[in-house]
Amino acid sequence: MHRLLLLGCLWLLAAPPASSIFQRPTGTPAPPRLQYLLEPLHPTVHTQRGATATLPCVLRALPRNYRVKWSKVEPANYRENIIIITNGLYHKNYGPLSPRVSLRHSHRYDASLTITNVALEDEGRYRCQLVNGLEDESVSLTLHLEGVVFPYQPSNGRYKFNYHEAKRACEQQDSRLATYQQLYKAWTEGLDWCNAGWILDGTVHYPIINSREPCGGRLLLPGVRTYGPRDKQKDRFDAFCFTSALQGSQVYFIRGHLNFKEAGQACRNHGAAIAKVGQLYSAWKFSQLDRCDGGWLADGSVRYPITTPRERCGGLPDPGVRSFGFPSKEMRTYGTYCFVGK
């Protein structure tokens, strides 16, 4: 009995911190084979914003006096936030996900987690842990939303956001700060941007496809270049935001020579709202919205989406959302992009 207690204490002392709980250093032995939990057949679950997603966690046997604990790792602070705990008969929900999560419980061995009305912030790494004394074991799964990353800066120029302002700015544009994995994937898909920006974990990066003098020089290789962690209060950069398609939504263009106020009213007259930057990027990426016409957006910028590049639409060779910046809101020169949600 004393030997078991000693082993338990040694295990607790050797337990990794929350930030490394899903990582195994190179050269260390593999974790013990699962005894009670089934290894998920597909560790990544793909879904869309607004949909219902289920993260599988199934037991092969029911130990005595066990609990199953679901948690989520947040890259902004590397913590595990508890979502739900069950003993097979009763359960309790925790945290901001509480109103939207439940256990599927299609049979007595099923402890799968169901999330309704999936939101941008739901993407990430989840853990299903069987708590059973010294025989604790767990499986990890990733909830993945197909999305698009875009750089964002305010109307008063570049490098104006501290971390918290960058986070709010993305949220105001129907998006959130991108993770490093999302920024890296965007770079592999062609994102090339000279200005450095905050991402969700508080580090600062910029993705370069074409090495050039104003962006670190021609000798540096292409890649996602990093400034590393920065002071979240004092340091100022742009932001890299991530957004995803929302089921049942639509972005469309209204022609006209409108100022900013008239643009908003034109959308409301159609039962819509003036589109946010993230909504326009989502429509460009997932609905192939393609227009040469500059239109007002909710932040006071004027942009237009191009999926098929052509000379008369800016002349740039790659698809993208082009920007006219932040013209005077009194200028009656542009149409407007409107958003209708489900």
Please report the pLDDT score of residue 214 as a whole number: 86
Does 254 share its domain with 309?
yes
Whether residues 231 and 310 share a domain: the answer is: no
Sheet of 67-74: strand order equals: 44-47, 137-145, 124-131, 67-74, 79-86, 91-93
> What is the per-residue burial (b if ≥16 Cβ within 10 Å, else e) of 56-69?
bbbbeeeeeebebb
Compute the distance between CA of residue 225 and CA of residue 244 in angstroms, rounded to an integer: 24
Residue ending a domain, choose from 95, 114, 145: 145
Task: Please name which of 99, 114, 101, 117 lies closest in space to residue 341, comparing C-alpha atoms.
Answer: 117
Q: What is the CATH number of the domain that holds 322?
A: 3.10.100.10
pLDDT the model gives residue 175: 97
Single residue among 199, 225, 244 that ends a domain in this structure: 244
- Tell me the two tokens of residue 247: 């089921």
Looking at residue 20, what is its pLDDT?
32
pLDDT for the residue 11: 29
Tell me whether residue 21 is in a domain: no
pLDDT at 216: 84
Choose the final residue of a domain: 218, 244, 270.
244
Residue ranges making up the domain that contains 240: 149-244
> What DSSP string runs through 144-201?
EE-EEEEEE--TT-SS-B-HHHHHHHHHHTT-EEPPHHHHHHHHHTT----S-EE-TT
Q: What is the pLDDT of residue 7?
A: 32
pLDDT score for 23: 44
Q: What's the helix, strand, coil split of the chain in %, to 5?
A: 20, 35, 45
Count the domains in the chain.
3
In a domain, 7, yes or no: no
- Secondary structure of residue 135 in the 3-state scheme: helix
What integer pLDDT is reported at residue 3 of this predicted model? 37
pTM of the model: 0.83
Q: Collect the ranges in the chain with pLDDT lower than 50.
A: 1-24
The answer to whether position 27 is within a domain reads no
Asked whether the beta carbons of 303 and 320 are under 8 A apart, the reply is no
pLDDT digits (tens, 9 = 90+) for 140-154: 999 999 999 999 999
Q: Do residues 42 and 138 both lie within one domain?
A: yes
Q: Which residue has the tokens 């089934």?
A: 38
